[in-house]
Amino acid sequence: MTRAIRTVGVCGAGGTMGAGIALVAARAGFKTISFDMSEGALDKAAKQSVDFLDKSVTRGKLNGDKRDAIVAAMSRTTSIDGLRDCDLVIEAVFEDLSIKRDLLGRLDGACAEDAIFASNTSTLSITEIASGSKHPERVVGMHFCLPAQLMKLIEMSPGILTSEETFRTAWQWTEACGQMPVKTQDKPGFILNALLVPFNNDAIRAVEAGVAEPADIDRAIKAGLGYKMGPLELLDLIGLDTQIRLCEAFYPITLDPRAATPPLLRRMVAAGLLGRKSGRGFFDYQGNAMFGA
């Protein structure tokens, strides 16, 4: 039997996505423990989160007492044993099957027998990830949208062995956080990335072909299709190196030529142009604030 979720752990919380997920959990009133191997990354993410909350107070979207409660609910650790009291652990580590499987095996040894493990994977099979755990029935897909602290949608995907109780408990938790879950099958890219990875690659190839400048491509997509963010701006937010990992995970499964990594993307990453996190990608950025702050 799974237990009520009171304490949430986030693995890879020093990254953009993990930090956002931790904010979602703490904002909903759950005790939240951020885990990352890098203490510096955790410190940086914590500062960005506090800055984001402070800006929310300044804008009148949050009162000071609520901001203090959210900060008080958040703690961080560089030891996986620090997650031992978690009822739900969400992994948001690199999009690499072996890394995720290994992490689940380590979580088996660190967490309680009834803890739920959720993967924030955007392209990989939940069933294959769950094979890293001795308890695949307690593993579920929970794909947040970037930036997690602003976007409501969560793609919920059961693996072949995911129990109905695990899926239902995880679903109810997302609703308790004020998010909007949708159920997807355990198929490559689920809903969003099955459509988005090829589409974003098309935008990169349009830049490479000289169709238009990045700003004009994004402007056309936003004005013509009603998107709030253009594909190249979104790629800078995701991280161009992350897009390569998505392509490398997605293309071998689907053999969709549109999902193959565009040459321009590899050149930009080789040059250190990773997007917002490096200060420059398709666009230039000032400062190092969390998106929305």
What is the spatial distance between Cα 27 and Cα 7, in angstroms, rounded to a whole number? 13
What is the spatial distance between Cα 32 and Cα 240, in angstroms, rounded to a whole number? 29
**The one catalytic residue among 56, 95, 119, 143:** 143
Can you give the length of the chain in residues? 293
| Residue given tokens 């044993």 in the structure block | 81
**The one catalytic residue among 91, 155, 163, 200:** 155
How far is residue 261 from each of residues 41, 82, 145, 242, measured CA to CA in Å?
28, 37, 21, 11
Residue 125 annotated in active site: no
Pairing of strands 139-144, 31-35: unpaired
Residue pair 271/278 in contact by the 8 Å Cβ criterion: no
How far is residue 84 from each of residues 89, 106, 116, 210, measured CA to CA in Å?
10, 11, 12, 52
**The one catalytic residue among 119, 157, 193, 200:** 193
Residue 193 annotated in active site: yes
Residue 122 annotated in active site: yes
Helical ranges in 95-239 per DSSP H: 97-110, 126-130, 164-176, 192-208, 214-225, 231-238
Residue 278 annotated in active site: no
What is the spatial distance between Cα 7 and Cα 108, in angstroms, rounded to a whole number? 17
**The one catalytic residue among 49, 119, 120, 122:** 122
- Point out the residues that are catalytic: 122, 143, 155, 193
